[in-house]
Amino acid sequence: MIDKKMEKAINKQINWELYSSYLYFSMAAYCDSVNLKGFSHWMRTQAMEELTHVKRFYDFLTSRGGRVIFSEIKAPPTKWNDPHKVFEETLKHEQHVTKLINDLMNLAHDLRDHASIGFLQWFVDEQVEEEESVDDVLQSLRLNENNPGGLFMIDKELAQRTFVPPAGVTI
């Protein structure tokens, strides 16, 4: 059985993962509205990835005898000034999620919950990858700030991203 404190914390994380997906779909819609289809594709792919995170947490919690309790998901922003701002906000959001994952890991250590520690390690590693991926796009945008053709090239590159669910996870 999972400790009630961990159950509550994982439920809170499920809400954040759902919000993350909601946020990235909103960012995708903004990118579509300014005809940046590659940026939109990247964000929609990111939104789907967040849903796989929801499923991982859901399955883990129920496998440990916990109950998933869904709570309200706040509405995400819908407008940004440009794609650079979209990715700045994405990085800030991913850094916040990293803090939340670290807080979960700290709780698991405090509770001596070794099953949760093992489970959460995947998310610790995933957040390193998430932040790096977003920062890579931000660095490309910064390098091409005064180059409109560069934005076109980045858009084409981002359109190549593919969604691959983690092993053992289906939606």
> Residues 45-100: pLDDT tens digits?
999 999 999 999 999 999 999 999 999 999 999 999 999 999 999 999 999 999 99
Report yes or no: 157 and 38 within 8 Å, Cβ to Cβ.
Answer: yes
The half-sphere exposure of 94 on its side-chain side, counting CA atoms within 13 A, is 24
Q: How far apart are the first and last CA of the chain?
A: 25
Does domain 4-158 fall under CATH 3.90.1510.10? My reply is: no
Distances (CA, A) of 156 to 37, 77, 96, 159: 8, 25, 28, 5
pTM for this one? Answer: 0.94
Among 94, 89, 154, which Cα is nearest to 124's?
A: 94
